[in-house]
Amino acid sequence: MPSFVVRPISGDITQQVRTTRRSPQYGHPVHEEVARGTGPCRACLRAFTVGVDRRLLFTYSPFEEASLPQPGPVFIHADACAPHAGVGYPAGLAQIPVVAQPYHDDGSIAAPCAIPLGEEAATLATLLASPRVRFIHLRHAEAGCFIGRVERAGA
Ligand SMILES: [Zn+2]
């Protein structure tokens, strides 16, 4: 089974959001609130504690490649948190319903694949076993927002 990493939003971006209170990519003002949903935080890849954690909402596009940007709203913890690192599926996402959106080497996009809770690691490994798949975007299965980028470990 191929191993993989789930990359959170880069530390450069999250630091700028916390410092400037503007979306680094779009300039829109950042919105701060007490968490009304579990998120997750796109830096540490952990669910927010509803009614307790303070979070920042900003506009983000997950594409580094020359491609059609897909800006959307994402949340991070308002205060600095430890960015997710490590191989495999993040434990902090265990209760978050996700959809996998595979992107191919030729620029085409596969149909979104809803993943049952608890089957994330096996499903992502299976998708990455296809040599066509270059990377996968994880999105929230209900809200549709970007969560993280899945790549083969060592890529
Ligand atoms: Zn966080």
Mean pLDDT of the chain: 94
Q: What is the pTM of this model?
A: 0.94
Q: Which residue has the tokens 């504690």?
A: 49
How far does the centroid of ligand 1 lie from the alpha carbon of residue 52, in Å? Answer: 13
Q: What is the pLDDT of residue 67?
A: 67
Q: How many CA atoms lie within 13 A of 9 on its CB side?
A: 31
User: What residues contact 27, with CB distance under 8 A and at least 6 apart?
Assistant: none
How far does the centroid of ligand 1 lie from the alpha carbon of residue 36, in Å? Answer: 15
Ion ligand 1, residue ranges at CB < 5 A: 41, 43-44, 77, 81
How far does the centroid of ligand 1 lie from the alpha carbon of residue 45, in Å? Answer: 6
Q: What is the pLDDT of residue 14?
A: 98
What string of DSSP letters covers 33-45? EE-SS----TTT-
- Rounded Cα gap, residues 37 and 22, in angstroms: 22
Token duo for residue 44: 């540490």
Token duo for residue 109: 């996009």
How far does the centroid of ligand 1 lie from the alpha carbon of residue 134, in Å? Answer: 27
Q: How many CA atoms lie within 13 A of 80 on its CB side?
A: 5
How far does the centroid of ligand 1 lie from the alpha carbon of residue 130, in Å? Answer: 31
pLDDT band, residue 154 (cuts 50/70/90): confident
The predicted-structure confidence for 86-138, as pLDDT tens digits, reads as follows 999 999 999 999 999 999 988 888 999 999 999 999 999 999 999 999 999 99
Q: What is the pLDDT of residue 24?
A: 97
